[in-house]
Structure formats: C-alpha cells, structure tokens
A and B are shown apart, each in its own frame.
Chain A
Amino acid sequence: MIDLKYNARSFCRLGQSGSICGMAIPAAREKYPIKVLSADMSVAAGLDRFKKLYPDDFYNVGIAEQNLIGISAGLASEGFRSVAVAQAAFITMRAFEQDRQFMGYMNYPIINIGISSGFALTYFGNTHYAIEDLAIMRSIPNMMVLSPADAGAAVKAFEKALELNVPTYIRLTQGLMPPIVYKEDFEYAPYHITEIFGEGHDVTIFATGSMVHQCIKAAELLKEEGINCRVMDVHCLKPLDEATILDACNSKLLVSVEEHNVVGGLGSAIADVLASQEKHPRLLKLGVKDCFSTVGDYNYLLEQHRLTAAQIAEDIKKYI
C-alpha cells in the first residue's frame, strides 16, 4: 500500500485525475520504480507536482498517444512501472492497437489513465467525448478495466492497479469537485461489485463512474414513492463480478446506467452474464443510445441522454 491518508474532501477538491496524478503517484513513487508518461496532458491531469519532484521519471511524448503506449511498454519491459496519462478518447481510440499489442498481447502491466471520459469535455464536442472507451478496452484480452465513482475511489483504483501489477485501464471523468460517494476510507475489493445504497428486491441498479452518484439520488427519489432500489457500484468492469449480478436476479428489474454508449459498455457486460441464464429479470440499459450528441454544458448533455437522477428515476418507473 502507498502512504497516503484517505481524505474524501481534499480528494474531491483535486478531482479524480488531480488526486491520482497530484497525490497518489508522487506517494507511490517512494515505493515503486514508476515512470510517468503523458501525451501533452500533464498540466490538465495534475502532474506538475510529480514533474517537480521526479523530473527524471517523467516523459512528455508530445501529442502522440500511439508512441505514448509504445514507449511505456519499452520502459515496462525493462522493469519500470509505467503510468501513461492522456485524454480518455485518445489514449483508448487513437492508441487502441498499441493498447492491444502491448498491454493485451505482450501483457505489459502499464497503468493506462484516461482523463475526461464521457462528456467531461462539454464544449470541445464529440471528437473529445469518450463514450466507446469501456467497450473497446473491455474487448482486449488481459486488460483490467476500472471505472471509479469519485476521487477517493479513483485513488483506491490506482493503488490496487499498482499492487496487482496487471495491464489496467482506469477511466476517469469530471473536473474538480466531483460529488463525493465514498465519504470515509474503505477497503477496496478488486473484481467485486460494491453495494452502496438501498435495500429490498424491487430494483437493482448497476452504475459505474459518474453515474453512481446520479443513481443514488435516483434511488432516493424512488424510495419516496415506495420503490426500493439497491445501487451497486461497478467500479471494475473487467474482470466482472458475475456472482453479484446473478445474485441480483431475485430483483423484479435490473438496470444499468453508464455515461457511455449502451453498445459494449456496462449494460452489455451485464447482458452477457444474464444471457446464459434460463430465467432472469428484464435489464433496462440506460446510457447513450448509440448516437453522437448535440453539444452543450454537462447537465445539458446528461439531460439529452436522460442520465440525470430525475430522468433515471422516471425511466425506471416506466418498467415497474
């Protein structure tokens, strides 16, 4: 474990990327032979402190995500712990073949950190939205795929990736002050889905990343109307905790919610598990319905795709 005290409020101030890059990576460097690489995204990611502390362990490869992963692999092949940081859209899509070759096929345990996934880059437009990254990264053999719900959980995910030393994609989103989901320090169980809200067997909502917070609020709204919802944080999409999904089959309705295309992401992963069962509840897949977006601010984008807490609650009500 790295020497870093859990403080939900200070992590929140820094955001997911700032907490990992500004706090967790410098702390981890004291124990691990880390090399950090970025494709011209070090300032936005919050790497300035690391660069000042360890100038010889940071490489800015320029706006060149493919080379970012290739060089990270070369360093990993020599025993360094490579951490590659770039925008989620480009570190997964521009560098997809490099991710497959070096992290998948050659199995180098690079920690690949994609910042600003989903709709985080609002007015930058669709070129900068990452709504396919979970689908494509999940499709690579050997890849662990993590999608933490808040800044504290992001730090936990990074610590676990370092400890397990396997090829890992960490999907980060939002800027500074993302809503806090995990107020207190907690034991991060890899490969497990975490139940974080609610009780009863009416509805089980599986959410990931930014949607965990929205789903807790949605469940609170539904509870006022007498509908019991459990909210499950799927912070690890691969390997997927199939047992917990099957246990939830005693619910009347299953729901998946992701700031991601409904093709290939969390909903698809859950559907794959359910498909082999003789009987299972219906699965309502909420997310981006396989389309590009009309550009606007973050709430505008969530509303467009019916991903605000109120809309999630409304859509669930239609199915029960």
Chain B
Amino acid sequence: MNRCIVAESSMTYAMKVKQLLEGHSIASSVVRLDPSQTKKGCGYGVEFDCAEYENAITILERARIPYTVVSGAAR
C-alpha cells in the first residue's frame, strides 16, 4: 500500500484533517514531518492510503482546509 501525506499548518489542523477523513471512512494517521518537508520548520502531516488520494483531496477542498501535498499520487 502506498502512503500519501498532506502537510498541515499545525498539530491541531492535522487532528482536524484526521477526524474529517476518518468521518469519510478513510483511515489516516498524524505524522511528524521534517523541517525540510514543510519549509516552515517543525510540522505535522496526515498520512493515508494513496488509493484514497482523490477522495481525500476533494474532502479537504470542500471543507476549505489548507494543505500542502508532501507525498501524493497522480490525480
């Protein structure tokens, strides 16, 4: 299973995204990101199965939650 990651601005937003995705039956987990991945210093991301990438991105955009793709899949 390939894992996709979206970076969030904070742990709080990462938790919000995790709850949101799980509410849509997309299993996810919060992961710590390296400063080089965020370009902003310490950060958090949400990891999920790349098979759900399309769905997950659509859900985030509908909820107007900002994100940055760290590790994605082709749309």
Instruction: Tell me, yes or no, whether A binds B.
Output: no
Chain A residues at the B interface, C-beta cutoff of 8 Å: none
Chain B residues at the A interface, C-beta cutoff of 8 Å: none
